[in-house]
Structure 1
C-alpha cells in the first residue's frame, strides 16, 4: 500500500513538560520567549529514508564489540530489549532504533564532555538496529554510569540510555531516554521532575528482566516503546499529537 503524503499532527503540548521550568536551569534560556509560529511542512519533511537490513552492520547492535580495539569495555554487561508498538500493542516492523550513552564511568565519547571519569578506549557508546516483523529490538551494551552536571551544586543525572526511533520520514523521528529500575537519582533529577505525569515517568524506567538475561554473562532490562495513545512513551521531541 502506498501512503499518500500529508501533514502530520502538531505537538500536543498539554501532555508534555512546559518549556519553561526554572528547576531545570538551562530551560530558562532555551525556552521560547515569543509566540510560536506554525510553518507548513515541506515534502522533504514528510518523506524520508527507507531503512533495510543491508544498511545495518553485523555489530551495530552490539556496543560491547562494535568499538572494541584491544579488549572489551569495562562495566556491567547488559542487554536492552523490547518492542516498538502502536497504541493497540501491534509491533512496528523495520523501524530504525538508535542508541547512545555514557560509558560505565558516566562519560560520553564527545569532545565537549569534560567530566573527570576516563574515556574507555574500547567503548564508543553508539549503536543501532532494525525492529523485526513483530517490532522487537535488541541491544547488547555496558550499563552507563551517572554523571554530574551544572544544574545545582551537586546535581547528578541518573544512569540512562538515549533512544531514537525513526518513522517513515525525518519529521517522525522520536527521541526518549530510558532509565534503570531502582536508581535513587531518578526521583531527584530536575529533568525528570519536569514531567507532570507520574505514570509517564514510570514508562521511562526499564525493569530488570532475568528471563532475558544470559547466565554468567549479561543481565537484561526490558523497555517497550509505545508510539501513540494514552500509554505512549514520553518523547523529548514529539511532533505528533496523541
Structure 2
C-alpha cells in the first residue's frame, strides 16, 4: 500500500510520451499543410513558430477508461434521436482501423460528428438557413472490435456554404476522432464521399498532397448495403506506414 503523499507524487510525475520513428515503408508526411493560403482560417490559427514537445503527466498518459457498457450499440446509430427518426438517406459507414503492417487495432474509441441532410450542424454558431432536424443530433461513437472493425448507421450529410471564399461550399463529409490507450493518443481526420462535385474548390481537401487525397475518400460498398434500408460506404483508417490515412497535424 502507498500512502497519499506517494500517490500524489506519482500523479504529478512528468513523463515524456513515446516518440515514433517514421515507418520503414513510409513515403513521408501526407497530412494537410498547417498553413494553406487558400484555407483562410489557417492564417489565424496556425502556429508561427516551431512546435515544442511538452512533457505529459500521468493523467494525460492514462485512459480513456471506457468501461463495460459506457459505449453502447445505440451510440453508433445516429438515425434515431429525441423520440423520432432523422430525415435523409440512411447510410452505413464502416471499415477497419489498421496499423502499418495491415494488422487490426482493437479497442479504439471512434467518435464522429457531421451536418444533417440539409448541410447544417446542431451548433449555435451554425447560421446556415437550412432546417434543423429535430431527430438528428449529428454525433456518434463506437469502439473497434478484435478485428479492428467499426460500423455506424447515419444519414448522408449535405454540403454547406462556409464563407471561405466567394460561393464556397464544403463537400459532404464526416469528421472522425480516434482515441488510443491514452488521451495523448488522439488523431482527427475526415471522410469524404466518392465523386463529390465540390472537391475542385475545397481548400481543406486540396491542402493535402495530390497523391494522398484519395485516402480521405470512402468507397461505395454495394455488398454491405441493406435491402430496402440503407446504402453503404467503406473507409479503412491506417495509422502509420506507406498507406497512412490523412490526419490533422
Q: What is aligned with 2:243?
A: 231
Deviation of 1:142 after TM superposition, in Å, equals 0.3
Which residue among 18, 25, 31 is the counterpart of 1:8? 18
Of 222, 230, 238, which residue of structure 2 is paired with 1:210? 222
Structure 1 residue runs of 5 or longer lacking an equivalent are 238-242
Instruction: Give the alignment's TM-score, normalised by structure 2.
Output: 0.87
Determine whether 1:161 maps to 2:174.
yes
Structure 1 position 153, deviation (Å) = 1.4
Distance in 1 (alpha carbons) for counterparts of 2:90 and 2:119: 15
Aligned-pair Cα RMSD in Å:
1.9
Residues 97-144 of structure 1 show CA distances to partners (whole Å, capped at 9, x for unaligned) of 111100000000011111110100000001111111101000000000
2:89 is aligned with 1:97:
no
**By how many angstroms is 1:199 displaced?**
3.1
Larger radius of gyration, structure 1 or 2? 2
Aligned equivalent of 2:75: 60
Decide which of 153, 177, 194 is 2:190's aligned counterpart.
177
1:72 Cα offset (Å): 1.1
**CA offsets 1:6-38 (integer angstroms, 9 cap, x no match):** 623279895433322111111111112234333
Matches within 5 A, 1:29-48: 29-48=44-63
Q: Measure, in 2, the Cα distance between the counterparts of 1:39 and 1:122.
A: 42
* Distance change in 2, residues 1:129/1:36 (3 Å): closer
Residues 74-223 of structure 1 aligned to structure 2 (within 5 Å):
74-196=87-209, 198-223=210-235
* CA distance in structure 1 between the partners assigned to 2:67 and 2:156 by the alignment: 28
Q: CA–CA distance in 2 between the matches of 1:64 and 1:114?
A: 23
| Residue pair 2:16, 2:54 contacting (<8 A) in 1 also | no
2:198 and 2:68 map into 1 onto residues whose CA distance is: 37
Displacement of 1:222 in angstroms is 0.1
Looking at structure 2, the residues matched to 103 and 205 of structure 1 have their Cα atoms a distance apart, in angstroms, of: 19
- Say how many residue pairs are matched: 230
**SS of equivalent residue, structure 2 residue 69:** helix
| Deviation digits for residues 169-205 of structure 1 (CA, Å, limit 9, x no counterpart) | 0111111100001111123211111112x23210110
The 5 Å alignment of 1:10-25 reads 14-25=29-40
In the alignment, which residue of structure 2 is the partner of 1:240?
Answer: none
Offset from partner CA, 1:131-174 (integer Å, 9 cap, x none): 11101000000000000011101111000001111100011111
